[in-house]
A and B are shown apart, each in its own frame.
Chain A
Amino acid sequence: MKRNMKKVIITVVGKDTVGIIAKVCTYLAQNQINILDISQTIVGGYFNMMMVTDPSACPRETGEIADELDAMGQEMGLSIRVMGEDIFNAMHRI
C-alpha cells in the first residue's frame, strides 16, 4: 500500500464458523499488515468483526488486498470489506 500510510479498517460479517479470525489474521501476516485492534461480537449467530490495521509495511495496493479478502470471504460465506479509516472518521466524527 505505497503512498498510503493511513490505517485501514477491515470488517467481517457473516455466519459464525470455526477459524474465521485465524484465516484473516494469517492472510494479514503474510502481507505484513499489522493488526492494531480487533473487536468482535456475535449477534443472533452472525459474526461481526472489525480490525484496525496498519498497512504501511505492506508492499501491495489496498485494492488488491481488498479483492483477495473479498474472494476469501466469499469462500467462507462471509462479507469482508477493506476500507480506509478516513471514511469512518468523516462519517462519525465531527
Chain B
Amino acid sequence: MINILEATETVKMITQENLDVRTITMGISLLDCISSDPDELCGNIYRKITTCARDLVRVGNEIEREYGIPIVNKRISVTPVGLIGASACSCPEDFVKVARTLDEAAKAVGVNFLGGFSAVVSKGMTQAEENLIRAIPQALASTDYVCASVNVGSTKTGIDMDAIRLLGEIILETAQLTKENDSMGCAKLVVFCNAPDDNPFMAGAFHGVTEGDTVINVGVSGPGVVKTALESVRGENFEVLCETIKKTAFKVTRVGQLVAQEASRRLGVPFGIIDLSLAPTPAVGDSVADILCEIGLEYAGAPGTTAALALLNDQVKKGGVMASSYVGGLSGAFIPVSEDQGMIDAVEAGALGLEKLEAMTCVCSVGLDMIAVPGDTKASTLSGIIADEMAIGMVNSKTTAVRLIPVIGKGVGDQAQFGGLLGHAPIMPVNRFSCEDFISRTGRIPAPIHSFKN
C-alpha cells in the first residue's frame, strides 16, 4: 500500500515542481493516402487523420483528469510528406496545398501541432523532396499548426550539402514571410542529422516509414522535479548526485509509461515508445539550465557545463530505461534557449554563446535549439552553422538538430517574442566570418569511417 509520504511526494511533483506529461503524439502513416491527383491526395490525408485521431484529445483529457497528471499537448506526426506527395505534387505550390490540408485536419481533431511536413534527404533529394523544401516558407507562413523538418545527414550516409545550402536560404525566406511575428515560422522548422523515426516532440516529429500504421508515442518531462531532488544533495559526491538523478528520472518515466499504456489501450492504437527527455518550458522552475546550476555552475555556459550536461543526460537515460522497456525518440536533456528561462538568463549574463551551445550539443540529446540570431545573418552562415551541427551528429552517431530563428529587423541586444511554450529569446551574436566558398561547393560529405576511433 502506498504511504502518505509517497503520496505527498507525487502530489508535490505535480503541483509545485511542474511534473507533467509533455505530449501524447499519435503517429499516423499516410502511405495508404498516396494518389497521383493532388486533390484526391489531400482528401485522403484529411480523412485518414480525422478518422485515426478522432478521439486523441478526448482520451488525453480523460486520462489527465483520472490520474490528476497534466498532459500538456496532444499532437500528431505523419509520414514525411516528401514521400507521400511525390506522385501528386509537381511543384512547391502543390505541397503548400498539402500543408494546408494537414493544418485543417489538425484543427478538426483539436491537436496543437502536427509534424511531418518533412523530407528525409540524408544522401540526396528527389525532385519532389526539393519541391517540398522549397514549399516550406509558404507552408509555415500560411498554416498555424504544421511543423516541418528535414533530415540532411546520417552516420551511414554522410551529409547532403546541397540540401544544407538550400536550407540556409529557406530558413531566411521563412523568416521573411513571418517577420510580423518575430520570424516565428522558423520555430516550426528543424534540420536534423540521424533523425529518429519515433520522436514525439515538435517541431521535429514525423512518423517514419519503419513504423506501423498508427502508434502512440509519449514524451515525458520534469526538469523541475530533477532540480528539486538535487537541492537535497548539495555538496554530496558524484555518486550521490548521479543516483539522485537516476531515481528521479525513473519516477518521471514511469508516469509516462502509465499514461502511454492507458492511451494506447483506450484508443486501440499500439504503444510505440516513451521519450524520456527533460524538456524545459519558459515557466519558472521548469528549466534544464537550473539543473546545471544546481549541479554546481553559476550559470549554464560556465566551464564545466559540458561535463555537467553529459552527466545529466546519461543519468536521465540510465534511470529512464529501467522504467520503460520501450524508450526511443530523442531521450535526454533538451537545451533550447528561448524555451528555458535559465538559458535565457545565462545568455543575458554573457555566460553562454553559440560556440558553447555547440559544444554542449555534443553530449545533449538534440542540438542548437530555438536560438534567435540577427535577421541580417547570411544564408551561407546559417548553412555553415547547420553543417557544423550535422557533422557532430554524423561523427558521434547521435541525433543532432538545428532550429535557428533569424529575426528579421532585429539585431544583437534585441529580444524576440514567440509566446506560449516557445517563449522569448535574446538575439545572439553569430560569428561574422564568411564560409561562402565552403557552402557553395556542391555534392555531399562522405560518411565517416567507423574504425580508428580517436
A positions within 8 Å CB-CB of B? 4, 9, 11, 13, 37, 39-41, 48-50, 52, 61-63, 66, 79, 81-92
Contact = CB atoms under 8 A, between A and B. Distances in A.
23 contacts: A4-B66, A9-B7, A11-B7, A11-B11, A13-B8, A40-B4, A48-B4, A49-B4, A50-B4, A63-B66, A66-B65, A66-B68, A83-B10, A83-B69, A86-B258, A87-B68, A87-B255, A88-B2, A88-B10, A90-B257, A91-B6, A91-B10, A92-B9
B325 interface: no
Contact of A85 (B2, B15, B62): B2
A13 B295 CA distance: 30
B67 interface: yes
B2 A84 contact: no
A13 B258 CA distance: 25
Contacts of B255: 87, 90-91
Given A66-B65, A92-B6, 20 more contacts: A11-B8, A37-B1, A48-B8, A50-B2, A52-B2, A63-B62, A63-B66, A81-B14, A82-B68, A83-B66, A84-B68, A86-B67, A86-B258, A87-B10, A87-B68, A87-B255, A88-B6, A91-B10, A92-B9, A92-B251
Contacts of B66: 4, 62-63, 83-84
B3 interface: yes
Interface of B: 1-4, 6-11, 14-15, 62, 65-69, 251, 254-255, 257-258
A91 B66 CA distance: 16
Name the residue in A40, A41, A86 with the highest tally of chain B Cβ atoms < 10 Å from its Cβ: A86
A92 B258 CA distance: 12
A26 to B, nearest CB: 22
Nearest to B259: A87
Contact of B254 (A9, A49, A63, A91): A91
A85 B8 CA distance: 13
B4 A81 contact: no
Nearest to A4: B66
B65 A88 contact: no
A81 B257 contact: no
Contact of B11 (A13, A52, A92): A13
Nearest to B252: A91
B114 to A, nearest CB: 27
A32 B257 CA distance: 31
